[in-house]
Structure 1
Amino acid sequence: MGQLPRGAARTLARSLYEARATRQPIAPLTDAEPGLGPLDGYAIQRELLSLLQADGERVSGYKAGLTSEPMQAMFGLDSPDYGPVLASTVHRSGSALSLKAFTAPRVEAEIACRLGADLTGPGITVQQARRSITEVYASIEIVDSRIRDWRIRLADTIADLASAGAVVIGDLPVPAAGLDLPGIAMHLRRGDEWIAAGKGSAALGDPAAVVAWLANTLGALGVTLEAGHLVMTGALHAAVPMSAGDEFVAEFDVLGSVGMRVEP
């Protein structure tokens, strides 16, 4: 579609806003509006973010999704999507997160980057993006969907803040200079069981390429990736379910480990 009137975008955003508040999932937006495309999804996302900011939320960075080839193939795409990282959803390693705070959460281990300089696209190269990254962290993202049973199409997940739930950031900020971001290996365990593994190259071939893509995509909309922003660069493995009592630890080469537990 790409030409969704603002009033319609606001109405759909309100339904997602209420679903977030009540933890009651809703039917896919694309069921009622099958013509919704990515531009429509971002229009709804902007309206939803405005509602959340009116409640006092603030943006502390951005997350990229669909950065791996298998996920892009699932949606028939050749590009990622993005959403804001809300400050209230950022937690330290070792935090206990309540299952009640989510609707249908899943866990992904990722490489997170902290920017030391503004990046205003378009035209940002991977090399420029790499130079802008000052610190790198082990991280876990909890992806969550306000769409019932995760029956999402692309516009649904974009509208829903790219299925953002929360992030857990490792305690050890590692200087970015000289790091081989694509080569960083990760292993994820739940309790005593190793359940997933991946490398930084799963994120668009290079997490710095994700930062460049975000800067250019946001820049085309008049938005700057700011110094201090946190960038979640995308899952290094397939998302895994999260249940009450689970304890997750992701161990990264060079970056150390990050962990969280799920309260009943």
Structure 2
Amino acid sequence: MSKVVSNQIKVLAKHLFEAEKNQTPMDALTVLKPDMTLEDAYEVQLEVVKEKLAQGLKIVGKKIGLTSRDMQVMYGIETPDCGHLFENMIVENGGEISFTDEVIQPKIEAEIAFVLKKDLHGPNVTVEDVLEATDYVLPSIEIVDSRIKDWNIKLQDTVADNASSGLYILGDKPVSLDEVNLPEIEMKVYQNGQLVREGFGKNAMDHPAACVAWLANQLNEFGVVLKAGEVILSGALASTIDVVPGDEYIAVFEQLGEVKVTFTK
């Protein structure tokens, strides 16, 4: 990568970092740099990650996004993306999130979370490798959020913006893989008690572990490893839900339990 492109990437990363810090959305990166490639976008993400690490934040996991066909159709793409999870993104199950202070333009996704007991690094990671490396799974809600105004994004924008990650909530009870059939797990999301989304584990690339395998292989291209102890959010099982201030959201997963979060006005 040339020095000019490298400088552009650092500038774009700084804009994103400041937008998140100040909770103020910015123009799309693909508007600021129309020729941005997917590789450029991942380099921007990694620059922001480096800045957060320099600020003392700790990486606790990774996330895969845009894994369901519903999500890919919504954004007009054909491939997942991925980002990093930091310790300041964790919300307690049943907790509250301030709509005005902690998020910009949040949406809800229900996902299966993997917790690893062994490192996973590509290339050529398979579903079987993921299952062997998994300690346990949990139900989860991811609050996706965008630092880009009005969610006016292309794939490069969401990749650069840490795969539009915001916060996440995990269930309370670890579940062993021998207790579940991941592709057949049924998921339902309720908004103030009303059913608003349904899905199955297989909605994420036919098998949630296939998403984790994709992630390990994708990040290998940038020298990033999935580490033992990390949480991996494996991707939405249905389309996103726009958050309404004051509303309560509960995601119920067959065999895994439930997670709940409320957004205060």
Q: Which 10-residue stretch deviates more, 51-60 or 136-145?
A: 51-60
1:184 aligns with 2:185: yes
Which residue does the alignment assign to 1:236?
A: 237
Which residue does the alignment assign to 1:227?
A: 228
Deviations 1:6-63 (A, max 9, x none): 2110100111111111111111111121111211110110111111112111111100
Cα RMSD (Å): 1.6
Q: Normalising to structure 1: TM-score of the pair?
A: 0.96
After TM superposition, the structure 1 = structure 2 runs for residues 192-207 of structure 1, keeping only pairs within 5 Å, are 192-207=193-208
Which residue does the alignment assign to 2:257?
A: 256
Which residue does the alignment assign to 1:158?
A: 159
Deviations 1:53-97 (A, max 9, x none): 121111111000110123334455432110001111012211111
Q: Which 10-residue stretch deviates more, 117-126 or 158-167?
A: 117-126
1:83 aligns with 2:122: no
Q: Which runs of 5+ in 2 are unaligned?
A: none
* Structure 2 residue matching 1:137: 3-state secondary structure: strand
Distance (Å, rounded) in 2 between the aligned partners of 1:43 and 1:146: 17
The letter for the 1-side match of 2:93 is S
* Structure 2 residue matching 1:15: 3-state secondary structure: helix
Same amino acid, percent of matched pairs: 39
Distance (Å, rounded) in 2 between the aligned partners of 1:4 and 1:173: 47
Distance (Å, rounded) in 1 between the aligned partners of 2:160 and 2:37: 10
Assess if the C-alpha contact under 8 Å between 1:247 and 1:262 holds in 2: yes
1:12 aligns with 2:12: yes
Distance (Å, rounded) in 2 between the aligned partners of 1:3 and 1:66: 31
Assess if the C-alpha contact under 8 Å between 1:92 and 1:171 holds in 2: no
Which residue does the alignment assign to 2:55?
A: 55
Assess if the C-alpha contact under 8 Å between 1:111 and 1:137 holds in 2: yes
* Structure 1 residue matching 2:178: 3-state secondary structure: coil
The letter for the 1-side match of 2:229 is G
Deviations 1:138-162 (A, max 9, x none): 1000000010000001111001000
* Structure 2 residue matching 1:129: 3-state secondary structure: helix
Distance (Å, rounded) in 2 between the aligned partners of 1:4 and 1:81: 25
Deviations 1:108-131 (A, max 9, x none): 111111011111110111111111
Which residue does the alignment assign to 1:209?
A: 210
Q: 1:180 to 1:220 in 2, by over 3 A?
A: same
Assess if the C-alpha contact under 8 Å between 1:107 and 1:141 holds in 2: yes
Q: Size of the alignment, in residue pairs? A: 264
Distance (Å, rounded) in 2 between the aligned partners of 1:74 and 1:96: 28
Q: Which runs of 5+ in 1 are unaligned?
A: none
Assess if the C-alpha contact under 8 Å between 1:3 and 1:40 holds in 2: no
Which residue does the alignment assign to 2:134?
A: 133
Q: Normalising to structure 2: TM-score of the pair?
A: 0.95
